[in-house]
A = this chain, B = another copy of it.
Amino acid sequence: MSRYAEYRALAQSLGVDAVALVPGPNFVRLMKQDFHSHERPLLLVIPAAGPVAAIVPNLELSSFAKLGFEGEVFDWMDQSGYAGAFAALARHIPLGSLAVEGQVMRVFVHHALATAFPGLKIVDAEREISGLRLRKTAEEVAALEGAIRISELALAEVLDDVRIGMTETQIEGHLIQAMFRHGASELAFGPIVAAGENSALPHAHARDVPVQPGDALLFDWGARHGGFCADITRTVFVGHASDEAQAVYETVLQANLKGHEVTRAGITAHDVDDAVTGVLEASVFADRIRTKTGHGLGREVHEAPYIMRGNRQLLEPGMVFTNEPGLYCIGGFGVRIEDDMLVTQDGCRSLTTFPKGLRILG
């Protein structure tokens, strides 16, 4: 079966003439190689029926040739610009409608398409195109586990290293180096290392501020390996943990464990969030809830399924998502515990294995 078959079928089911892919997670899944396109458009067009075609920067032609692409390639030089290649594509494959990845394609490519194909209906089919990545294959799960293992080895090292007086930025540097030493190909995202009141921001940035006794110290980090992303959070305490801190920690842990307990194929993303968030809501810390339970994880660090109330998407075997309840007290501290979970037929398997018991450093 042609590697384009599922994209052709998708174009048919969407009622569009073709699907377009630009470099990014869907492109690399299909072509086994990514490109960094920066200011240079590169585009695959996969029609519902008929030959595929591509627009490729001349500079990338030799790399692109390795992909074994079967269709016509319209290349363009920096000096002359890409409008001519888009016009040539339009003459080669007249299109009335085109499904694109709305969260990947940038506006300048959208404009180039709209100019070259007058009247073209451009449909944002992010959900449907990326939906083809929802169920991970065994090989993809193995890649995820590889990324997670690298990430967990790195944190284990760093926790042994942390000393009172080290800054968030220094600890972050150690964590990043440890991920690469253990084999990361890239960072899945810029890690969060946030102590004290900074831990109360769900997307904090490390500061040049030393960690202090009593601080919560939150790590949200992950390596990329084999094209797949780890995304894990652990929160530890420095020197000692107050009674309040321990109670908050225990509440978040119970919510996280609830996620493990309820997850199985056949329930919805809503059901998981409802169960996990329900634990937080039933606690005395309900006013510290700031986020939904999680998001899908794979070639991108945020992808479907989004684990939140109202999302009636059914969980299926092979889906992977984060289970990351947290409680955040602005001006105080935050706790989040995040695992990466694989949905199985009759339950789930945690791909993350890093211990979750209350840990007090030093």
Contacts and interface: CB of A to CB of B under 8 A. Distances in A.
Interface of A: 33, 35-36, 38-39, 58-60, 62-63, 78-80, 100-108, 110-111, 122, 124, 126, 173, 176-177, 180-181, 183, 186-187, 189-190, 200-205, 290-292, 295, 300-303, 306, 308-310, 330
A50 to B, nearest CB: 24
29 contacts: A35-B203, A36-B190, A38-B103, A38-B300, A39-B295, A59-B202, A59-B290, A59-B291, A60-B202, A60-B203, A62-B200, A78-B308, A79-B308, A79-B309, A79-B310, A80-B310, A101-B107, A102-B106, A102-B108, A104-B106, A105-B106, A105-B107, A107-B107, A110-B110, A173-B180, A173-B181, A173-B183, A176-B180, A186-B190
A5 B101 CA distance: 34
Nearest to A204: B63
Given A35-B203, A102-B106, 19 more contacts: A36-B190, A38-B103, A38-B300, A38-B302, A39-B302, A39-B303, A59-B202, A59-B291, A78-B308, A80-B310, A100-B107, A101-B107, A105-B107, A107-B110, A110-B110, A176-B180, A177-B180, A180-B180, A186-B190
Given A36-B189, A177-B180, A180-B173, A201 B107 contact: no
Contacts of A204: 63
| Interface class of chain A by DSSP | loop
Contacts of A33: 205
Q: Which 9 A-B pairs have the closest CB atoms?
A: A102-B108, A38-B302, A102-B107, A105-B107, A177-B180, A78-B292, A176-B180, A107-B110, A111-B124
Contact of A62 (B105, B186, B189, B330): B330
Given A100-B107, A124-B108, A79 B292 contact: yes
A5 B103 CA distance: 30
A270 to B, nearest CB: 10
B201 A62 contact: yes
Given A79-B310, A302-B38, A308-B79, A63 B190 contact: no
